[in-house]
């Protein structure tokens, strides 16, 4: 299947948490969504890792911004930060 072949993701924005480039699920999901045509907001607690993910997404000709956020905290401020960034 060619890049961008998944219908419905072009022009969409996806928010992916845990997207640092340590080989985890969030990183893989971010790349798959970008490959399918989505632009992204990615977050993680690891600045270097999330910046690497941004570079990889941008290499697929998709727009990508990042936000440092610890979504495991229950105060809700991390989620608010993500949506303000979006």
Residue-wise pLDDT tens digits, 4-28: 556 679 899 999 989 998 878 999 9
pLDDT above 90 coverage of the chain, percent: 55
Q: Dihedral sign, CA of 73, 64, 59, 31?
A: positive
Domain that holds residue 41: 13-85
Is 7 among the domain residues?
Answer: no
Is 65 among the domain residues?
Answer: yes
- Give the global pTM: 0.80
Q: Dihedral sign, CA of 25, 29, 40, 51?
A: positive
CB half-sphere exposure, 18, CA atoms < 13 A = 8
Average pLDDT (48-76) is 87
Is 59 among the domain residues?
Answer: yes
Is 33 among the domain residues?
Answer: yes
Is 68 among the domain residues?
Answer: yes
CB 68 within 8 A of CB 43: yes
Is 47 among the domain residues?
Answer: yes
Is 21 among the domain residues?
Answer: yes
Please tell me the predicted confidence (pLDDT) of residue 82: 67
Domain count, the chain: 1
Is 1 among the domain residues?
Answer: no
Please tell me the predicted confidence (pLDDT) of residue 1: 44
């Amino acid at each position: 299947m060619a890049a961008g072949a998944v219908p419905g993701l072009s022009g969409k924005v996806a928010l992916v948490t845990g997207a640092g480039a340590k080989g985890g699920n969030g990183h893989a999901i971010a790349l798959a969504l970008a490959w399918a045509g989505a632009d992204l907001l990615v977050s993680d607690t690891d600045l270097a890792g999330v910046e690497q993910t941004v570079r990889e997404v941008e290499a697929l000709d998709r727009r990508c911004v990042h936000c440092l956020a610890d979504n495991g905290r229950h105060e809700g401020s991390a989620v608010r930060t993500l949506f303000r960034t979006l």
